[in-house]
Amino acid sequence: MLSRRDFIRLAGAAGLTVRLPGGLSAADPKTQALCEKLKSDPLRPQFHLLPAHNWMNDPNGPIFFNGKYHLFHQYNPGAAVWGDMHWAHATSPDMVFWKNEPVAISPTPEGFDRDGVFSGHAVLDHGTPTVIYTGVMPPANDAEATLRDGKHTWREVQCLATSRDPDLRTWQKLPEPVLAKPPAGLDVTGFRDPCVWPEGDAWMLTLGSGIRGKGGIVLLYTSPDLRRWTYLHPLIEGGASGLKTTNPVDTGDMWECPDFFQLGKKHVLLVSTQGKVLWKVGTYKDQRFSPEKEGVVDWGSYYAAKSTLDQEGNRILWGWIPETRPEAEHSAAGWAGVMGLPRVLTLNENDELQMEVLSAVQKLRTKTRIDTKKPGSATLQTLRIHDLSAELLFDYKPAADASFVLSFVSETGETFATIRCNPTSAGRELQVGNVKAAISADPAKPIQLHLYLDGSVLEVFVNRTTVLTARVYQHVSTPLRIVHEGAEPSDLRVWQIKPISNNRLTSPLCD
């Protein structure tokens, strides 16, 4: 089978006009203008995964198969705004360097996913790659509607597709949904985003949902073959917020994108609601989940998280980093949304969820400046970050006043971003821009601040338990220097990070 890249080259040689996603032509002057705009956009990340152009959101079905990591995600091939959801597809040998593949799954006209191929999960069923995802379509009547968000009224069903393609580029859908409607007697406020895992001789499946007037809920099903599903009971139920909004996700009365897995001796449930991904750690017994600890995965711009196991058995978390600028701006820019860096999940000694960026990302490090004996302001004055692309590691010893301010400033005095650590009555607080997060670590323990800067994306980790992803749209015309005030670090390391492609793109769009 010809790759899209090979097809473009052959077609160009034959004088054919090649049509790309979104109605673009490789030979069209508009395409070339878009390519130049994307290549020269300093806010576009260079070592995070994102499609060649247009809109992306939720990670879907991450899986290791046939020697490659495959990551699918929500994608609008026609514009840099939400809508017309497809499953885009990217592959990688190491979860660092990515290649965008052709779109994997598209809506079927007049099918059960005619209005969108929404989020889902991938598994190997006796070696056969199989995905279960939410398809959306217009309801035949009001009773069929499961999604009402103020803009759309849809019927949500769960669909199944399999692939015999060693590269997972082509998929065959079952003609009918494997779950066509919610359990009888439940007045749901959502019915989407399946998570699937094997348990004994059966398969288990959860769906994100909510019960009108009662709050968020995760529905639990079982099946012998991934096709015939029986509803068991709620895996877990939340409480009603008492708030009135058009979209129940905004109040926490509907839980999206559940992800459920074992981690060490505990089980972890992730749900997305109210603009955040929440984690719950607890015990799974008799096919019910009892949370014992809970928290926030990321206090910033991070949503719809989905996990998988890597080759070594590590639990890897993927999450969508949304835009926080106005729609008109990202539409004009020609791209919207970024995939977060791969995060390795573990539990600390208090059974709190902790995470750190996959160590394989370190291969992107280039230059480093380390001064462990005296890393104070004199050292910082000599450092420069080029192309808004760097990894930074700061260590602070515990002190009565451990507050500090860390700013990225251009050589002409423009402030790009500011990070603060402030003491509070309850301990310490991280602040990036206007977003704040409580630091869960013991105030008597050292602080390690780990940052990844990539264009408009700034991922900040504190002691692996507090994470805040910020979007920064400040244009600067020179390299950045670091201005530091307050408690000085006992150690600092700064690496310039190289891009994963030579033109900010991982697609043949602009070749």
Look at the block and give the residue holding tokens 């994608």. Answer: 75
Task: Among 128-132, 243-247, 252-256, 406-410, name the one with the lowest average pLDDT.
Answer: 243-247
Return the closest-CA partner of residue 333 out of 453, 417, 455.
Answer: 455
pLDDT of 398 higher than 80: no
Print the SS3 string covering 129-186: EEEEEEEEECCCCHHHCCEECCCCEEEEEEEEEECCCCCCCCCEECCCCCECCCCCCC
Domain pair 49-357 / 365-497, same fold: no
Separation CA 52–CA 77 (nearest Å): 10
Share in percent of the chain as helix, strand, coil (round to 5): 10, 50, 40
Identify the band that residue 397 occupies on the pLDDT scale cut at 50, 70 and 90. Answer: confident
Higher-confidence residue: 13 or 217? 217
pLDDT for 375 equals 53
Domain-wise residue ranges, the chain:
1-40, 49-357, 365-497
Express each pLDDT in 366-381 by its tens digit: 987 766 555 555 567 7
Position 34 scores a pLDDT of 83
pLDDT band with cut points at 50, 70 and 90 for residue 508? very low
Rounded to the nearest integer, the mean pLDDT of the chain is 90
Read off the pLDDT of each residue in 305-315 and give the average, rounded to a whole number: 97
Tokens 């006796």 — which residue? 126
Segment 32-40 shows an average pLDDT of 85
Least confident piece of the model among 7-21, 50-64, 127-141, 245-259: 7-21
Overall average pLDDT of the 322-331 stretch: 97
49-357 folds as Tachylectin-2; Chain A (2.115.10)
Which CATH number does 365-497 carry?
Answer: 2.60.120.560
Q: Token digits for 231?
A: 């509803």
Kindly tell me if the per-residue pLDDT of 35 is higher than 90: no
Inter-CA distances, 115 with 73, 75, 152, Å: 16, 13, 10
Antiparallel, parallel or unpaired: β 335-336 and 54-65: parallel
Mean pLDDT over 90-107 rounds to 96
Q: How far apart are CA 298 and CA 149, in angstroms?
A: 24
pLDDT of residue 511: 46
Q: Any idea which residues carry the catalytic annotation? A: 58
pLDDT score of 510 more than 70: no
